[in-house]
A = this chain, B = another copy of it.
């Protein structure tokens, strides 16, 4: 099993606070020490950092904490290997290009005996069930639309596709194309929106409190999606089982 972290923001935001708590789960406060990764969209461009070391010990994670990258869509993952060996090609998030956009995917859960028909051009590089599921989603999205559809159309297609995966097991995932962030819960996923009036937040996984009011402008807004709540004094909402939400500009799209 693994843990997921996603941010979808109205304005470019750095993830330092949330990532600092989250990376502790990669070996310190939790046992997800078999690799980690984080992807930052910058417009249509993407920066992806992958490591098969533990996030808590990784010099690269340390560097990113000291050198904040601002992004409107961020997807991060700490891994506890269950299917697929500990190797760089098995580290999430995974990336593929579709319709001239980068797509980023991270998964938490196990899909048992999941061998989808990958008859198109999205093939797994590694050996995880997660990357197979991602390749299948990309293949089916590609078959369903001739070009990049609207976020609402994509969401409708995903709602049709997801049940074909969930019958193999737990499929908590984050997916982004830099425009929107989709979050699906099978078992465990929480979210909140940080916006004006901003308040204090205290991390659960390490000793750090910030006052977001001093760091943000009124137009700033960030939706944070995470496996288990990152802070002790913010109102996190649990996803329902089988709930898919899509976030745009820091808000869930109704």
Instruction: Using CB atoms and an 8 Å cutoff, list the residues of chain A in contact with chain B.
Output: 42-50, 52, 59-60, 63, 67, 87-91, 95-102, 120-126, 142
Contacts and interface: CB of A to CB of B under 8 A. Distances in A.
Given A63-B63, A96-B97, A88 B45 contact: yes
A225 B192 CA distance: 50
A87 B45 contact: yes
Count the copies. 2
The 5 closest A-B pairs by CB, nearest first: A45-B88, A45-B89, A100-B123, A44-B89, A42-B88
Nearest to A58: B67
A99 B102 CA distance: 18
A204 B35 CA distance: 38
A211 B98 CA distance: 46
A220 to B, nearest CB: 21
B45 A126 contact: yes
Contacts of A44: 87-89, 125-126
A104 B21 CA distance: 33
- Among A48, A90, A142, max chain B CB count under 10 A is at A48
Given A48-B48, A63-B63, A43 B89 contact: yes
Contacts of A122: 97
Contact of A123 (B60, B95, B99, B126): B99
Contact of A101 (B48, B49, B125): B125
Contact of A45 (B43, B91, B100): B91
